[in-house]
Amino acid sequence: YRRPYNYGQLRTSWFPSENSELYAMARWFDSRKDRFFGRNIKLSSFETFDLGGVYRWKGQEVSLQVLNIFDRNYEEIAGFSVMPRSVFGSYG
């Protein structure tokens, strides 16, 4: 359950310098089934598009990701939606 019948992912990266990476990722999830309070439910297919970047220098790294760019409203589990468009950053 909750596993899509088919799944596809396409990711491309661009390296503008030796220390940096920009990437784009598109994912497609086919329809799938879930069991919810004893009954089977068919969940619709959906796709997402993400962008991100990483910069590294002297043992340090900063990254930024924007997930679900087109703000798709979909469910990974029946009745529970995933986060809308989200921005994450990190430094390490």
pLDDT computed for residue 81 by the predictor:
65
Residue 8 Cα distances to 22, 46, 74, 88, angstroms: 21, 11, 17, 23
pLDDT computed for residue 51 by the predictor:
97
Mean pLDDT of the 63-84 span: 76
pLDDT computed for residue 12 by the predictor:
97
Count of all residues that appear for the chain in the document: 92
For the stretch 15-20, contacts whose Cβ atoms lie closer than 8 Å and that sit 24 or more positions apart, written own/partner, are: 19/55, 19/56, 19/57, 20/53, 20/54, 20/55, 20/56
- Give 18-72 pLDDT, tens digit per residue: 999 999 999 888 887 777 777 777 777 888 899 999 999 999 999 999 998 988 7
What is the b/e burial string over 74-83, where b = at least 16 CB atoms within 10 angstroms of the residue's CB? ebeebeeeee
